[in-house]
Structure 1
């Protein structure tokens, strides 16, 4: 008597991660659907998002399929809600505060909120990282690319 092996998920963390990549890649493809694609030599505004979204979705499919056959012992644990909420809160606080507080103070706020996500951070690191991030952003986006981003709340 031959026993059939049922198809089961052997590596749940890879399977779920692959599905997340498929979702993000599919979202990029969906967002780029109304933009002109152009060609490889004359790329339109939809070419790059569609290309990256498609590659990301294919990578997600490959990772999810791999999780059906290869068992590396990785099982999904519980969701770490505190870091998830605080890091997303840091990103959202930056996007909301940028127009009101300017780049320097919005960066400080975002890093402070995000730093609360871990217990391993040293308190002196937050302002140092904020100064570094603000300086880097200032050089790249304001001076390098010439984007009209307010630096201070004045």
Structure 2
């Protein structure tokens, strides 16, 4: 439901994010890479151009959000807390214990953000993601990540 005087905050936030992201990419490309000319492009020309396009699109979305009305944004603090904790747990556990225990921790912690997933679903999801991660990273890409690495 759009209220009188309400702004379209999703477009404002999304457009602002794209504006900052595109501007940052363009500035980085211009300041640290050689641009070259239009006829002989350097390695910085394409990233700078893409950054400018993303920044322009973000500006259009931002202005559109400021000019239109939209629903009020509701923030679920419980979900934000558990998702953030799961990311922190993954970062803390992947080196000392390996990626399988880290994935299990991510699934277990993030599943508490919404109580609709049963214990069997959590176990099935954790097992599936661990197997997919193993197949992609160790078998497919041959990345030297240890699946299990128990500290001594």
With structure 1 as the length reference, what TM-score do the two structures score? Answer: 0.71
CA change 1:116–1:104 in 2 (3 A) is same
2:19 to 14, 18, 22: 22
1:125 to 113, 121, 124: 121
2:83 to 87, 102, 110: 87
Gaps of 5+ in 2: none
Q: CA deviation at 1:101?
A: 1.1
- Tell me the C-alpha RMSD between the 2 structures: 3.2
Structure 2 residue matching 1:116: 3-state secondary structure:
helix
> Residues 115 and 121 of structure 1 are in contact (CA less than 8 Å); yes or no, is this contact kept in structure 2?
yes
Higher helix fraction (1 or 2)? 2
Mapped partners of 1:112, 1:129: distance in 2: 9
- State whether structure 2 residue 16 is matched by structure 1 residue 11: no
Q: CA deviation at 1:108?
A: 0.1
CA change 1:109–1:52 in 2 (3 A) is farther
Indicate the residue corresponding to 1:64 in structure 2. 62
Q: CA deviation at 1:31?
A: 6.4
> Residues 94 and 107 of structure 1 are in contact (CA less than 8 Å); yes or no, is this contact kept in structure 2?
yes
Q: Which moved more, 1:79-88 or 1:14-23?
A: 14-23
Mapped partners of 2:112, 2:49: distance in 1: 36
Q: CA deviation at 1:90?
A: 0.8
> Residues 13 and 75 of structure 1 are in contact (CA less than 8 Å); yes or no, is this contact kept in structure 2?
no
CA change 1:35–1:109 in 2 (3 A) is farther
CA change 1:65–1:48 in 2 (3 A) is same
